[in-house]
């Protein structure tokens, strides 16, 4: 087994959940790049977990905003469970420390890639659903997402918060400070054609950060977000 049980115990405390199968948990944390003989990677669990998380968040939004239109509910759900949102949850659980990577991904800082972290979070929810059923996994999803939803009692506020265009915000700050506009540089384009990962570096207002995404635009947004977080403009 490739799991660090100290980290597993910490994860169980954060989730308030005891895993029944560490073999299944190991599968959920194994990236396709990992060269482990006769071991499965997380792709099937990610497929399941994607649906589990989506349904859980849909349920929470439906109950929280009884008068909201379908379009607003759908958009709020999409933003809450996009790559950025999912990887945020993964970081809060320190899943980056636990993911099992191949040497190539390890060298490319795969533990910090939003694409990998978001997949791992979904896989983890898939494991809990398989082990303990809907009620248990929904309790965990609720614990994670309810604070985010309750922070915005009006769904329009929630949409405004989630839909923030980080590139535009960073550009506005640069203009306000009369500094050069942000510069985005494509650093790397990696992975198979069906699952490309773009890495972009952003330099702006005296800061620099590297972002990743499934396309160049997403990577630029991620890099801009990290600078805004470093500046404490966004938590």
Helix 114-132 vs helix 83-92: crossing angle, to nearest 10: 70
Q: Choosing from 27, 46, 122, 220, which is the catalytic residue?
A: 122
Q: Choosing from 27, 41, 46, 50, which is the catalytic residue?
A: 50
Contact, 229 vs 216, CB < 8 A? no
Q: In what order do the strands lie in the sheet with 197-204?
A: 183-190, 197-204, 207-213
Tell me which residue of 72, 41, 73, 68 sits closest to 54, measured CA to CA: 73
Q: Which two tokens stand for residue 151?
A: 């922070």
**DSSP secondary structure string, 112-126?**
G-HHHHHHHHHHHHH
- Using CA atoms, how far residue 145 sits from 90, 135, 148, 181, 221, in Å, is 12, 15, 5, 35, 22
Active site residue 41: no
Residues contacting 13, CB < 8 A, separation 6+: none
Contact, 92 vs 22, CB < 8 A? no
Contact, 45 vs 128, CB < 8 A? no
Active site residue 50: yes
Known catalytic residues are 50, 122
């Amino acid at each position: 087994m490739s799991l660090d049980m100290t980290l597993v115990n910490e994860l169980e405390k954060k989730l308030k959940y005891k895993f029944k199968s560490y073999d299944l948990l190991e599968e959920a944390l194994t990236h396709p790049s990992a060269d482990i003989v006769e071991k499965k990677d997380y792709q099937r669990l990610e497929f399941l977990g994607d649906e589990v998380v989506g349904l859980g968040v849909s349920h929470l939004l439906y109950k929280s905003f009884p008068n909201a239109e379908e379009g607003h509910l759908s958009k709020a759900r999409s933003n809450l469970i996009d790559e950025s949102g999912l990887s945020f949850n993964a970081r809060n659980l320190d899943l980056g420390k636990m993911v099992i990577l191949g040497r190539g991904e390890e060298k490319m800082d795969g533990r910090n890639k939003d694409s990998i972290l978001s997949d791992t979070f979904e896989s983890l929810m898939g494991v809990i659903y398989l082990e303990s059923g809907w009620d248990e996994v929904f309790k965990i999803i609720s614990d994670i997402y309810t604070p985010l939803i309750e922070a915005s009692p009006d769904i329009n506020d929630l949409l405004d918060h989630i839909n923030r265009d980080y590139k535009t915000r960073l550009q506005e700050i640069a203009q306000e400070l009369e500094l050069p506009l942000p510069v985005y540089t494509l650093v790397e384009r990696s992975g198979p054609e069906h699952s490309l990962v773009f890495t972009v570096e952003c330099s702006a207002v005296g800061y620099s950060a590297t972002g990743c995404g499934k396309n160049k635009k997403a990577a630029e947004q991620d890099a801009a977000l990290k600078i805004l977080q470093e500046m404490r403009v966004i938590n």
